[in-house]
Structure 1
Amino acid sequence: MSGTGSGTHDGGRVHAEGDFGWHLGVLLSAYQGSVAPLLGELPHATRGYQILAAVVHGDQPTQAALAAHLGIDRTVMTYVIDDLVEAGLVERRLNPADRRARKIVATPQGARTLADLEERVRQAEDGLLDALSAQERAAFRLLLRRTACRLRNVEPAADPCTAAESALKDIPAPR
């Protein structure tokens, strides 16, 4: 992204047709800067948080399926899971459907840790999105989730996004 993107400024305001990539980059950078310090001693910071959240809220049958769902290389996933196990946040269990495979499950400590982190991360996200009303933030999250799930081509049967969209379907669109 260059400093001369398609978005132009007039009196401190960016035109609506501004550079989409620049907007995403600014938001991602601000997100990382706000959330990373909240993750404290969590192994692998943001990646560890995403894995822990997927383990607590999802139902991936194997470590390989978890890696594929999150788009993480399987060999990298092994190291991250090892560190989360060592921290007492997750454990590997035999998959009842396939005893050769291991399913990653959260420990009680892992579930408590995630609940605490989710609250702090949500507050940081709300701070980043404070230019939006509560309804606009909810709509933004819904639209972002829908777009990300479609791009990841998430399977409908294992799609946490569909459940989240259903839960948020009654939120009125911003005016």
Structure 2
Amino acid sequence: MSSEPRGRASSSAECPDLDNDLVWAIRIISGALRRAADESAEALPGGARAYLVLMALAATEEKPPTQLELAGRVGLDRTVMTYLLDDLEGLGLLSRRPNPRDRRARHVILTDEGRAQLQRVRTDVAATESQLLAELSEEDRGQFRDLLARVALTAQRGAPGE
């Protein structure tokens, strides 16, 4: 029995470290997921960016974020976020309400139509995720998602050396 993980790329003879390189792996995975999100969200203004915004809003429905908090959570420039929210609000996918504690800030709230659009895109993206993770057991999939999310949060806070 080989100690090599299943599905290992055969490129190791040409470039012994490529299939162990994190930059390569994340680029390949990110590209596949980005293409799936772009294709699924092409009807939404901002495409995959809109998908991320809708996902973030769905995850924060108990405590709607401000526009600034939302921009930070999904990693978008606040000016870009404002234009994107304008477009999404124009389609009835979200609404913005003044923050009762600070009239300068606005809370962003997902609408029923926004939830429906998110579900449609999420279903398509989940199919791609399932294909990408096919070599992993259910337990490994959960562990992979958890570990990747932890690394992403570290990167979002600012990795050492930045």
User: Same fold by TM-score, threshold 0.5 exceeded?
Assistant: yes
Secondary structure (helix, strand or coil) at the match of 1:44 reads coil
Question: Is structure 2 residue 80 aligned with structure 1 residue 76?
Answer: yes
Which consecutive unaligned segments of at least 5 residues does structure 2 have?
A: 1-9
- Give the whole-Å Cα distance in 2 for the aligned partners of 1:37 and 1:148: 23
**1:21 CA drift (Å):** 0.7
Query: What does 1:58-73 align with in structure 2 at a 5 Å threshold?
Result: 58=60, 59-73=63-77
2:117 counterpart residue number: 113
Q: How many residues align?
A: 147
Report % sequence identity: 35
Q: Which runs of 5+ in 1 are unaligned?
A: 1-6, 155-175
Q: Note closer, same or farther for the CA distance 1:109–1:14 as it changes in structure 2 (3 Å cut).
A: farther
Question: 1:142 corresponds to which residue?
Answer: 146
Which structure is richer in relative contact order (CA contacts within 8 A, separation 6 or more)? 2
Distance in 1 (CA, whole Å) between partners of 2:81 and 2:21 is 33
Matching residue's letter, 1:87: L
Q: Residue 135 of structure 2 aligns to a residue in which SS?
A: coil
Distance, in Å, in 2 between the alignment partners of 1:14 and 1:134 is 29
Matched, 1:48 2:50: yes
1:162 alignment counterpart: none
The amino acid across from 1:56 in the alignment is: A
| Superposed structure 1 runs of 4+ greater than 4 Å apart | 12-17
TM-score with structure 2 setting the length: 0.79
- Go from structure 1 to structure 2 and tell me whether the alpha carbon gap of 1:34 and 1:100 turns closer, same or farther (over 3 Å shift): closer
SS, match of residue 126 in structure 2: helix
